[in-house]
Structure 1
Amino acid sequence: MKFEKQTYKLILLSIYIGLFLGESVGFSQSIASSKVGLGWSGNSINTVIFRNQALTSNNEFQFTAYYNQEGYMVLAKRSLGTNKWLKHITQYKGNIQDAHNSISIAIDNAGYLHVSWDQHNSPLRYAKSIDPLGIELSEELEMTGLQESSVTYPEFHNLPNGKLLFLYRSGESGNGNLVMNLYNPKSKEWKQIQNDLISGEDARNAYWQTTIDKLGNIHLSWVWRETWDVGTNHDLCYAISTDNGLTWEKSNGEKYQIPIIKETAEVACYIPQGSNLINQTSMDTDSEGNPFIASYWSLQEGTPQYKVVYHKDDNWHLMDTDFHKTAFSLTGGGTKRIPLSRPKILVGDQGVYVLFRDEEMGNRMTLAKTNLNKVNWELSDISNREVGQWEPNYDVNQWKTNNEIHVFSQKVSQIDGEGLDKIDPQPIYIVEFRDN
């Protein structure tokens, strides 16, 4: 990576000055931030990457959610373009001692907020707002009543037709299946459309992520894990649905037989076990609907690095980076304390972006930028705040509709193997910027 140290110092200085004044000149960005409130920080539960979504919006209002120091779930909203957040401490608590038990939210096209929280191989917890655009929640609700006894990694996604997707793992690490539900805001009903979309065959499970392109196609990527040990993660796989998740196919149009299993999965990039491959992928698509997938792993005995796998011109391609310099090994179970965050990828007209956090760079929120016509990456910190073991989560709607990046930010700590740290509650900020 050709990036002069003096240039980097100048960019950091300009960003620091810009944040003091309310803006920054890195990447020609204008950076603003608003404080939401104080949240629990004894582990990374408020900032784990698989929350999807921690932050969501419609054309008028933006919503977020987090656990406070007592473990209560707090909902907050603001009018877009303002810094004043209206907060409500809900009646619901979560087991904040387990960083898997994160909160995922979405807003449907009728304005109702949907919330799922506090699940790690445990029964579904789900509620929705009592009123449109409200932040007071109903009693706990069923979705479909099917496969709701052992839920992990709940995540909502908005479809362009106004419907909502809800995905989760049924089962446990090393032995779980992917379930998909579809919500119709007109009938206000959930329907299970896949009870075993990706099957671990009682031998493994898939750690996935999803993105929706502008045509409403659902892109799904995942890595396999053979046991509870993160060191058994392997291979990067892919599927796409063009009919709201009912049928699935490979990138070449070949139809999948459901459930997708290890033997039938399209492998976008072969990665052997023991490669320090992190679980959960990150996805976005370009304007033509080509999928881009970000993760990190190491080649042979090398240092783990962020990598981007993308599909273009009927082939899969790999983009490498060299940001990180110090080797580390991923083994064991539970939520890990890792020097690198899992990345979020964003693909726009101006290029490809990777949002991440690295201990070597001071544990700040860092944005890397490149395009497919050059091999160099430009790096810029988007905040001078140190964020501990934070992982990125952004408002998908603001990115897709306004080309703005709104990031959920909080300094958190994470002790290895699901440990807890004694740390005071830390402020939650929403940091927003655009690349001009």
Structure 2
Amino acid sequence: MKRILLLTFLLISVSAVCLSQRLVEVAKGYSCTSVNTAVFRNNSLVTHKGEQYISYYDAEGYLVLGKRKLKSKKWTIHRTQYKGNVKDAHNIISMMVDGEGYLHVSFDHHGHKLNYCRGIAPGSLELGEKVPMTGVDEGNVTYPEFYPLSGGDLLFAYRSGSSGRGNLVMNRYSLKNHAWTRVQDVLIDGENQRNAYWQLYVDEKGTIHLSWVWRETWHVETNHDLCYARSFDNGVTWYQSNGEKYQLPITASNAEYACRIPQNSELINQTSMSADADGKPYIATYWREPGSDVPQYRIVWNDGKTWKYRQVTDRKTPFSLKGGGTKMIPVARPRIVVEDKEIFYIFRDEERGSRVSMAHTTDVSHGKWSVTDLTDFSVDAWEPSHDTELWKERRKLHLFVQHTRQGDGERTAEIEPQMIYVLETNTNTNK
């Protein structure tokens, strides 16, 4: 089955950046929760050797895979044999392509046994049977994420355990052996008192950047602080930004603190990070400063010597993060990409009509942030995810876009299946 539709083509000039956009229709998908549009979907889109893959749950909860040639308007869509509990927005689909062209998929987890399978052939959208990876600590999995490593191997990260009592686990897939091995049993140890909610980025040089907030309980208001670590050897050895080697596992007492943020600051978890060509890390998030009741989007970065942070937006509307489960929040957790000195910061805010929006600056320390809306329609509970590999290879920003809704605390919302799009936003950084 093939579906195509080119909806619109826009040219937007924003400060020093020129955005060439088109919105390409894919198919309708489940929309009663944000399961298709959570920020920690890594990846919803991925490009390998000129072909772009997409994954989502359809209206009946089936895992659907698709692919197309880049620039093509023709999608090949395949409904797999697998279904997910789409009523719980944690149960996202994560996918990646290895160096031989095989698709790897993990899906439908919120404290459940590992669900993992591979394509039956290079480039195939047909998935084989579910299989274990290492067979260790695979009974209580949440937040599966794949990342490509140099040479075509893959990294797989997930939380083993529960909110407030979980550990970060890492596996590596070897193209040579066609098998998974354990890299870290417990990279970040919550010591049975807390857990880390992380974001991870593998830069063009192969350095793994990892940042996280601590959470003491399953209640989101106990999020606090922002920490950092990096690895130059595919996750085996870890360092602080000043070059000091970590003694593993990383705990609350030996972690590097990029920014101290107290509990009850409306600090959100699991957002996004990136790095520039020199390997300097950038973290996108939001929180509320003492004395204010309005959470603001912020960027935290290391200039090679010290950690700094800066406010990105000037929001006016207060809100508070309380309780457990998936929240219906008036803003999305942000995504960030970096090119040279340019920052592209993608978000959604009710104050802007809940559209897909982007903030941009050419000077992270002092430059003005210019904000534009990338859609003329509301996406409601949508959070950004993008084709990370296409950005690294070609500096083209392709976003997974769908209008979704979310009931507070894992409740569903009434909405018909909504169209899924790929929003192609090609940034022109030539001045």
- State the TM-score, normalized to the length of structure 1: 0.94
**For the residues of structure 2 that align with 1:323 and 1:163, how far apart are their CA atoms?**
42
Letter in 2 for 1:318: Y
Instruction: Pick the aligned partner of 1:282 from 256, 272, 281.
Output: 272
Q: Tell me how large the CA RMSD over aligned residues is.
A: 1.2
Give the drift of 1:432. 0.5
**For the residues of structure 2 that align with 1:77 and 1:311, how far apart are their CA atoms?**
37
Aligned to 1:196: 186
Alignment of 1:172 with 2:162, yes or no, is yes
**For the residues of structure 2 that align with 1:428 and 1:132, how far apart are their CA atoms?**
25
Instruction: Pick the aligned partner of 2:286 from 296, 308, 326.
Output: 296
- State the SS of the aligned residue for 2:392: helix
Aligned to 2:299: 308
- State the SS of the aligned residue for 1:435: strand
Verify the 8 A CA contact 2:23 2:424 in the aligned structure 1: yes
Verify the 8 A CA contact 1:340 1:356 in the aligned structure 2: yes
Aligned to 1:421: 413
Gaps of 5+ in 1: 1-18
Instruction: Pick the aligned partner of 2:24 from 31, 34, 47.
Output: 34
Aligned to 1:340: 331
Give the drift of 1:171. 0.1
Equivalence map 1:21-100=2 (5 Å): 22-27=9-14, 28-100=18-90
**For the residues of structure 2 that align with 1:164 and 1:268, how far apart are their CA atoms?**
27
**For the residues of structure 2 that align with 1:286 and 1:384, how far apart are their CA atoms?**
31
Give the drift of 1:229. 0.5
**For the residues of structure 1 that align with 2:73 and 2:400, how far apart are their CA atoms?**
14
Verify the 8 A CA contact 2:8 2:23 in the aligned structure 1: no
Identity %: 50
Verify the 8 A CA contact 1:126 1:141 in the aligned structure 2: yes
Instruction: Pick the aligned partner of 1:388 from 370, 380, 383.
Output: 380
Verify the 8 A CA contact 2:397 2:425 in the aligned structure 1: yes
Equivalence map 1:215-254=2 (5 Å): 215-254=205-244
**For the residues of structure 2 that align with 1:92 and 1:142, how far apart are their CA atoms?**
16
Verify the 8 A CA contact 1:222 1:281 in the aligned structure 2: no
- State the SS of the aligned residue for 1:161: helix
Q: Deviations over 1:326-364 (max 9, x none)?
A: 111111000000001000011113611110000110010
Aligned to 1:128: 118
Aligned to 1:319: 310
Aligned to 2:319: 328
Give the drift of 1:21. 5.5
Alignment of 1:263 with 2:253, yes or no, is yes
Q: Deviations over 1:379-418 (max 9, x none)?
A: 0111112111100000011111111100000000011111
Letter in 1 for 2:228: Y
**For the residues of structure 1 that align with 2:148 and 2:73, how far apart are their CA atoms?**
25
**For the residues of structure 1 that align with 2:291 and 2:151, how far apart are their CA atoms?**
46
Give the drift of 1:325. 1.1
Letter in 1 for 2:364: L
Runs of 4+ in 1 over 6 A off after TM superposition: none
- State the TM-score, normalized to the length of structure 2: 0.95
Verify the 8 A CA contact 1:181 1:192 in the aligned structure 2: yes
**For the residues of structure 2 that align with 1:84 and 1:222, how far apart are their CA atoms?**
39
Aligned to 1:364: 355
**For the residues of structure 1 that align with 2:29 and 2:253, how far apart are their CA atoms?**
43
- State the SS of the aligned residue for 2:236: coil
Higher strand share: 2
Aligned to 1:8: none
Alignment of 1:352 with 2:339, yes or no, is no
Q: Deviations over 1:176-229 (max 9, x none)?
A: 000000011221110011010001100100000100111101000000000010
Verify the 8 A CA contact 2:310 2:365 in the aligned structure 1: no
- State the SS of the aligned residue for 2:10: coil
- State the SS of the aligned residue for 1:210: strand
Verify the 8 A CA contact 1:340 1:357 in the aligned structure 2: yes
Alignment of 1:398 with 2:423, yes or no, is no
**For the residues of structure 2 that align with 1:366 and 1:295, how far apart are their CA atoms?**
15
Letter in 2 for 1:57: T
Q: Name whichever of 347-356 and 231-240 sits farther off.
A: 347-356
Give the drift of 1:373. 5.4
Alignment of 1:144 with 2:131, yes or no, is no
Q: Deviations over 1:17-43 (max 9, x none)?
A: xx9752222332110121111100000
Aligned to 2:3: none
Give the drift of 1:425. 0.3
**For the residues of structure 1 that align with 2:421 and 2:366, how far apart are their CA atoms?**
33
Letter in 2 for 1:414: Q
Give the drift of 1:94. 0.4
Verify the 8 A CA contact 1:119 1:152 in the aligned structure 2: yes
Instruction: Pick the aligned partner of 2:262 from 272, 280, 294.
Output: 272
- State the SS of the aligned residue for 2:314: coil
**For the residues of structure 1 that align with 2:84 and 2:173, how far apart are their CA atoms?**
24
- State the SS of the aligned residue for 2:35: coil
- State the SS of the aligned residue for 2:20: coil
Letter in 2 for 1:277: L
